[in-house]
Chain A
């Protein structure tokens, strides 16, 4: 079946502009995660959704970052007034659920490579 998809795959923007990144999780997956990965570094947790609510926003680096999810499906990550340090690959992952004994295997999308000039 279809995996996690993300769009755009690449985005080049100018400093100060807003960008919107999209994630389509695997159908039926209730949990959705956003991560950021800078070149040569590990994954940095940004935000997690269970259904349409975000119980954990602790990873958002500043108030320029926001995310929403609708219909327990698509999620968008918005970065306002982009800065050069926002340049990174933004990865989205989904999992079946996060409570109970399920092992919460995460399935990742291919990422959006964001470059802020």
Chain B
């Protein structure tokens, strides 16, 4: 089983729709979680961190479910500019001197007019 798994998509939704996708992780000791966004042929950029209590930033909501070992990203009122690949990132932090942040392969989202 991969350490971090995502549905590759693509998710193709109309503008204005709400879309959500999950990311599962295998290491129950994982400490920190993030969503990054990567536009085509560009570098990944941090979208938001995911806190235990969940967090919201405008149209974006991230949730963590430790019991089931997944994180989710919800995008409301989607815009054309939301089209991108969304990368789930998990930091297992099993050893503070050798932490390695693990990136999922990404979920491709395409918003159509």
Residue of chain A at shortest CB distance from B46: A105
Contacts of A91 in B (CB 8 A): 43-44
In angstroms, how far is the closest chain B Cβ from the Cβ of A32? 12
Chain A residues, CB < 8 A from B87: 42-43
A25 to B44, CA, bound (A): 15
Task: Name the A residues within 8 Å of B99 (CB-CB).
Answer: 48, 56, 98-99, 104
Report whether B46 and A42 are in contact in the complex, using a CB–CB cutoff of 8 Å. no
We find that the number of chain A residues with CB closer than 8 angstroms to chain B is 24
Nearest Cβ distance between residue B84 and chain A, in whole angstroms? Answer: 14
**Complex Cα spacing A50 to B96, Å:** 11
* Chain A residue at minimum C-beta to C-beta distance from B96: A99
Interface of A is mostly: loop
**Residue contact A45 to B91, C-beta cutoff 8 Å:** no
Task: Please encode chain A, from 96 to 116, with 1 for each CB lying within 8 Å of some chain B CB and 0 for all others.
Answer: 001110011111111100000
| B105 in the interface (beta carbon within 8 A) | yes
A-facing residues in B21-52 (Cβ within 8 Å) = 32, 34, 42-46, 49
Cβ-defined partner of B46 (8 Å) among A45, A58, A100, A106? A106
Which residue of the partner chain B has the closest CB to A91?
Answer: B43
Contact digits for B57-101, partner A, Cβ 8 Å, 1 yes 0 no: 000000000000000000000000000000101010000111111
Residue of chain A at shortest CB distance from B106: A42
Q: Quick check: B32 and A108 within 8 Å, CB to CB?
A: no
Interface pair B105/A56, CB less than 8 Å apart: no
Q: A43-B103, A45-B102, A91-B43 are in contact. Are A105 and B97 (CB under 8 A)?
A: no
Contacting residues, chain A, for B103 (C-beta < 8 A): 35, 42-43, 45
A residues whose Cβ falls under 8 Å from a Cβ of B: 33, 35, 41-43, 45, 48, 50, 55-56, 58, 91, 98-100, 103-111
Which residues of B are at the interface with A, using a C-beta cutoff of 8 A?
A: 32, 34, 42-46, 49, 87, 89, 91, 96-106
Q: Can you list 22 A-B pairs with a CB-CB distance of less than 8 A?
A: A33-B101, A42-B87, A42-B103, A43-B87, A48-B98, A56-B98, A56-B99, A91-B43, A91-B44, A98-B96, A100-B96, A103-B34, A104-B91, A105-B34, A105-B46, A106-B44, A106-B46, A107-B46, A108-B44, A108-B45, A110-B43, A111-B43
